Amino acid sequence: MTPRIRRLAVPLLTASLLVLASAACGSGGGSDTAGSADTAAKPGEKVKLTIGLFGDFGFKPLYEEYKKTHPNVEIVENVTQFNDHHNNLVKRLATNAGAGDIEAVEVGYISTFTAQPAKFQDLKQYGLDKRQGDYLDWKWQQGLSKQGGQVLGLGTDVGGLAMCYRKDLFEKAGLPTDRTEVAALWPTWEQYIETGKKFAAADVAGAKFVDSPGEIFRAMVNQAPAGLYDAQDQIIVDSNPDVKKAWDLSNQLTAEKLTAKLAAFSPPWNTGFAKGSFATIICPAWMTGFIQEQAKDASGKWDIATVPGGSGNSGGSHLMIPKQSKHPKEAAELIDFLTSKENQAKVFKEEGTFPSIPSLYDDPSIQNFTKPFFGDAPIGKIYSEAAKALKPQHLGPKEAEVRVVIGDGLGRVEQGKQTPDQAWAQVLEDVKKIK
């Protein structure tokens, strides 16, 4: 190289490196386009429907099917993380801009939104009240406006509880591996903890008994007749003995060193699945989809047993149409399609989210459904029984916020920052501040 060429080449090279680096890293920021600014559709005109979700709902194959009968409809799916999704929805409703034509809302947030009926379309206008007969009654009720009257959301799935466990790790620990024998180990949560102690005593390398106490706590509260709220929407965390009992049991998991300290849905938790860092995980039906997704190499190692402490519901969602949607009629049709009996059954078989339509529970195609990934466990039967036994619980408007406060308390104990009593005192203080 002559000196002159070199003088030019070096900055050029570095500049191109810069551009490459920024291009490679620039994809980190998510786009925020959930607009639905089309004009009202005439028959046959192209309609773009946006649908906002918080995770994979298993809808993708259904969109393709829907487009066959509705060639003029284009469907755009926006998936964001759980908390962000719901917080963004609150913002977009308040500012009347940016929400999708269809938005998924999890039960933890459903009362927040059904308390604002003016912000949503009444699905009755589009004839969807005809679907009432299909649904579990309590699931249907959850989608109604506070005063009743308006139908704001149609249910997708319910989260009947079960307990997933790793057969290989149980075997290493000298515990039974057959699902009925495993279920017999833990009719109650106390016995579940006892089993955990046995597992810990066997000292299986690199594996703890449970991922973290957070979701276990949620499941235990959901099994009680009343949870974080009473029927009058008052927070009863400080007075409900079932909440305190769930708190104590959850912290016992920590005290006995049974947890892998992996908060649910975090990246290290995902890694934990791949590495087999925990032997059991609380398994609402939708969790089976997560496990399949995260522990791809562990096919056949996971199995499903009944949950300690009786039935309960954890999670499940509704689909709603914000008032600002430009195509409420088309959106309502799509909701009707996505939540139909046949499609809920299809989504369950693919994704694991369990239908909220009780006539499916005795349907042979569900009853006899097994999954090779879970060692051919009869997951259709397990979750049908769980869903049939469900006793619905009243959920309050700030359900999710209260749960975060308690989750933080459990986290402080888990990280050794506070004793359970100190953490509980702070939880009660924090709960009082929730407006």
Partner 1 sequence: MSSLPLAVPGRRRRRGIRHTLDVRVSPYAYVAPFFLLFCAFGLFPLVYTAWVSLHEWTLLSDEHTFVGMDNFGTLLADGYFWNATFNTLSIGVLSTVPQLVLAIWLAHLLNRRLRFQTLFRVSLLLPNVTSVVAVVVIFSQLYGRDFGMINWVLSWFGAGAIDWAAGTATSHIALSTMIMWRWTGYNALIFLAAMQAVPRELYEAATIDGASNFTQLRKITVPMIRPTMIFVVIVSTIGAMQIIAEPLLFGASTGVAQGGAANGGPDRQFQTLALFVYEQGFTKFDFGYASAASWLMFLAVVIVAGVNFLITRRVKGGLV
- Residues that bind partner 1 in the complex, under the rule CB under 8 A: 10-11, 13-15, 17-18, 21-22, 25-29, 81, 83, 87, 90-91, 94, 116, 214, 261-263, 265-269, 271-272, 275, 277, 400-401, 403-404, 407-412, 414-418, 435
**Which residue lies nearer to partner 1 by CB, 172 or 412?**
412
| Cα separation values, 218 from 26, 196, 237, 430, Å | 37, 19, 13, 18
> Is residue 108 within 8 Å of 214, Cβ to Cβ?
no
- List helix spans (H) across 352-398: 364-367, 379-388
Least Å from the CB of residue 422 to partner 1: 11
- Measured N-to-C along each axis, helices 420-433 and 399-414 cross at an angle, to the nearest 10 degrees, of 160
Q: What's the min distance (Å) between Cβ of 31 and partner 1?
A: 13
- Exposure string of 281-295, with b = 16+ CB inside 10 Å and e = fewer, is bbbbbbbbbbbbeeb
Least distance between partner 1 and beta carbon 111 (Å): 12
Q: How far is the CB of 394 from partner 1 (least distance, A)?
A: 20
- Pick the closer one to partner 1 by CB: 282 or 345: 282
Nearer to partner 1, 308 or 397 (CB): 397
Q: Identify which of residues 94 and 389 has a Cβ nearer to partner 1 in the complex.
A: 94
Closer Cβ to partner 1, 261 or 318, answer by number: 261
- Minimum CB separation of residue 423 from partner 1 in Å reads 9
User: H or E segment at 242?
Assistant: helix 241-255
CA distance 279 to 173: 10
- Half-sphere exposure in the Cβ direction for 309 (13 Å, CA): 26
Q: Which is nearer to partner 1, 208 or 371 (CB)?
A: 208
Run of H or E residues at 95: none
Smallest distance from partner 1 to CB 409, Å? 7
92 within 8 A of 99, measured Cβ to Cβ: yes
CA dist., res. 102 & res. 84, Å (int): 16
